[in-house]
Amino acid sequence: MKKITLQDIYLKKRNRVGIACLTAYDSSFSKYLDDCGVDIILVGDSLGMVIQGHKNTHKVDQHDIEYHTKLVSRGIKKSYLIADMPINTYNKSNQALKNATKLINECGAKMVKIETDTTNLDILNYLTKKNIPVCAHIGIKPQHIKFPHEYKKQGKTFQDKKKILDEAIFVEQAGAKLLIVECVEESLAQKISKKLSIPVIGIASGKYCDGQILVLYDLLGISFNGIPKFINKEYFKIKSIDERIKQFIQNTRSLPKE
Ligand code: KIV
């Protein structure tokens, strides 16, 4: 069975086939998502909220992500696996390299994800130079947020739009191989997806990104802290888990005409 490579994901962007991504935290679900045909599985630090029952992601540590990445990796045959780097595990270059290397060499991740802005481009660039593939994450950055009500659309004003667009350009220049945009205004997310040559995966950022990612438990409607408003309610009419996941993949694959 052929594993999905980063090249395959880039090809999807080029051929305008949407990239379907979901989070997972254990082997049973990762096997399930892999069998359903999900392109990318992320071990997100959202596990702090949906698995550990906290109000935010801040209590997740390196050990948690290593543990869950190993579990998820065991269930995967094809999907591309990304591990999130938790808060305070990539503040310094050497610390970031040590932790990212563990996730890739010992836990089965193919790429790590870090929340980025103009203050940590050096870390992103350092990891890239050390051959660690990095997914950057801009827009709402959950590691900067304490409570669910702080999730607000980003990029509403001209200044914010410019700041976020600049961040997207800078992370690509610094070496990011993928970009996640969270809670970004739709036309801005579209502009970023067009401008960048790396694939741009959106969450709560409208339909024009190169791919979509959801927290699996939000799609299943069982998240501990409640289901975010942006989740398409049509999914909850589909009773079978299998069909719901496949519907998400199908919706994501067919990108709208610009
Ligand atoms: O932690 C996570 O699950 C994430 C996704 C929501 C993108 O960062």
* Catalytic residue flag (residue 185): no
Ligand 1 mean position, distance from CA 203 (Å): 8
Nearest-CA residue for ligand 1 atom 8 is 44
Crossing angle between the packed helical segments 93-105 and 62-74, to the nearest 10 degrees: 20
Instruction: Please give the number of the atom of ligand 1 that sits closest to the Cα of 142.
Output: 8
214 Cα: distance to centroid of ligand 1 (angstroms): 7
Helix (H) or strand (E) holding 47: helix 47-50
Indicate which atom in ligand 1 lies nearest the CA of residue 201: 7
Report the C-alpha gap between 103 and 202 in whole angstroms. 23
pLDDT per position as a tens digit, 114-136: 999 999 999 999 999 999 999 99
Q: Which pLDDT does position 151 carry in this prediction?
A: 86
205 CA distance to ligand 1 centroid (A)? Answer: 13
Its pTM stands at 0.97
Distance CA 207, CA 211 (A): 8
pLDDT at 198: 98
Contact 73, 81 (CB under 8 A): yes
Which pLDDT value is given to residue 120?
97
Full pLDDT tens readout for the chain, 258 residues: 799 999 999 999 999 999 999 999 999 999 999 999 999 999 999 999 999 999 999 999 999 999 999 999 999 999 999 999 999 999 999 999 999 999 999 999 999 999 999 999 999 999 999 999 999 999 999 999 988 788 889 999 999 999 999 999 999 999 999 999 999 999 999 999 999 999 999 999 999 999 999 999 999 999 999 999 999 999 999 999 999 999 999 999 998 877
Catalytic residue among 115, 167, 172, 182: 182
In this prediction, residue 62 carries a pLDDT of 98
Q: Which atom of ligand 1 is nearest to the CA of 180?
A: 7
